[in-house]
Chain A
Amino acid sequence: MPKYLLIYRDSTESQQSQPSPEEMQGFLKMWDGWFKQFEGKIVDMGDGLLPTGRVLQPGGVVADGPYVEAKEMIGGFSVVAANSYEEAVEIAKLCPIAIIGGAIEIREFAGYV
């Protein structure tokens, strides 16, 4: 079955105050629910990414910080198995990131390896 990479993009514009512990507990439960609902479909739960980073530019120039050209910054990723983009999108729609208003980029693995 084809695999898809879900790339979580947090908005860099609506950086409100930190989420409260109560909101975080709610969020934790949402992730638990999502993983349980799609148990066989989620190949790799992935990880979160810190907001720090480096960019190695051509010519060996190293810049601080992740690439922030867009209004969103990559905050994490997961890998799911699905029969089609449509199915992958359905799984992504129910992901907590989508529910709280984040964007998710969905890319099919080429399967070269």
Chain B
Amino acid sequence: MPDCHHRRCHRNPRVCWLRLIVDSTSQLVEHFFRHEYGRLVALLVRDLGARNLELAEDVVQSALSRALVSWPRSGTPTDPSAWLFRTAKNLAIDSLRRQKLADHFREVANQQTDAYEEASGTSPRFDSEIGDETLRLLFLCCHPAIAVESQVALALKTVSGFGVQEIAHGLQTTSATIEKRLTRAKEKLREHQLELGELTSAAILDRLDAVLSTIYLIFNEGHSATCGNSPIRLDLCWEAIRLAKMVAAHPLCGSPSAQALVALLLLHAARLNGRLDTAGSVVLLAEQDRTVWDGRLIREAMSYAQHAAQGNELSRYHIEAGIAWEHCRAASIAETDWARIVDLYALLLKRFATPMIQLNAAIARSYLEGPGEAKQFLLTMNDVDRKRLRPWWD
């Protein structure tokens, strides 16, 4: 997908030729800056402590600005990641020196830069319980003291490198709201003197559920059918998958639930292609062209599902992945194994009786037994729940 996200591009026809140039000179992989942003913030926060999260974000932003002026003129450096890290680190040292706190950091940072540069562009690994700094930062964002909606905003901003406007657009809210959520989250971080070093294996495992549900929420925000197929919303889906895979690949937190979450998200992503027509309107499941579903993603999901089946954990992600799999493997709506899907929903309802799941369960039963049950469910639903579900049938 050409990543020409600038707002004016859609209005200004002159920009169209630019896409050609942009694509033919793409030396940097797609989303390079976005992913680097998260990684660099994570590396700096590791060295400076979570209390300096804002400083870390500022210097990374400045390093990207410098690249913007420098790289077109002097050429893209052979190791762009190392260039950005060096620049951001020096900016941080300058800033801290002004605060007269630099001595300690300088020493630590020098050692770590050496280690970093030896690793020549690959992610550095250290003897910490969570080796990957990006994951550490994700776990920091999901601290129980921070409200869930702020966790999502903070994770998207710091871990995923989304801009405030992009987050607002993705979550269908205003930039001001997102700014507020971010400010509150950062206040909590300061209040609790949260440090990444405090994350013990026990704390990590405690927080794993929260991390998985934040990732799930990010995916749902992107996937939600209440609004059009804008690139930024699809970006949220792919970002959620990237984060879920990162968690699933880690020896400590790659639990069967994490594997199941990746499988579930991939099974949803595999069907993104059939979900909207060319005009961007939602196509009902019954009318979707199933040949455009992505078999490669479905196969990938199945290999995660195999890992998820090891051990005796049964999370909501396992059950939901089971339901998604039944849809994926059916050749048409009529050939779908509705009895199996109804059973899976029953299992899910025992644990999570949310209105949304109740509605979906009722719909599944209507395919199996006729519409009576679903009608009954809608009639008996209370107003609050009805309101909450309203976007889904408006």
Among A16, A21, A47, A100, which residue has its beta carbon within 8 angstroms of that of B64?
A21
Residues of B1-50 contacting chain A, CB below 8 A: 3-6, 8, 12, 14-15, 18, 21-22, 25-28, 31-34, 36-37
Q: How many residues of A contact B (CB 8 A)?
A: 29
Instruction: Name the interface residues of A21-73: CB closer than 8 Å to any CB of B.
Output: 21-33, 35-37, 45, 47-48
- Chain B: minimal CB distance from A88 (Å): 17
- CB <8 Å contact, B69 and A48: yes
Q: Are A22 and B164 in contact (CB under 8 A)?
A: no
Chain A CB within 8 A of B67 CB = yes
Q: Is the CB of B34 within 8 A of A30?
A: no
Least CB distance from B31 to A in Å reads: 7
* Interface contact A99-B8, CB-CB below 8 Å: yes
A22 touches B5 (CB 8 A): yes
* A-B contacts, CB under 8 A, total: 101
Q: Report if A20 contacts B (CB, 8 A).
A: yes
Of A28, A47, A93, A99, the residue contacting B71 (CB under 8 A) is: A28
Query: Quick one: given A21-B163, A22-B163, A99-B15, are A37 and B21 in contact (CB under 8 Å)?
Result: yes
Interface string of A4-22 (1 = CB under 8 A from B): 0000000000001111111
User: B-side binding surface: helix, strand, loop or mixed?
Assistant: helix
Given the interface contacts A28-B68, A99-B15, does A21 sit within 8 Å of B26 by beta carbon? no
Judge if B175 is at the interface, Cβ distance under 8 Å.
yes
Q: For B60, give the chain A residue with the smallest CB separation.
A: A21
B55-88 interface (Cβ within 8 A of A) = 61, 64-65, 67-69, 71-73
CB distance from A47 to the nearest CB of B (A): 6
Contact A35 B72 (CB under 8 A): yes
> Interface of A with B (CB < 8 Å)?
16-33, 35-37, 45, 47-48, 76, 93, 99-101
24 A-B contacts (beta carbon < 8 Å): A17-B165, A17-B179, A20-B163, A21-B33, A22-B31, A22-B33, A22-B163, A22-B166, A23-B5, A26-B3, A28-B67, A28-B71, A28-B72, A29-B25, A29-B28, A30-B18, A32-B72, A47-B69, A48-B69, A93-B14, A99-B6, A99-B18, A100-B6, A101-B8
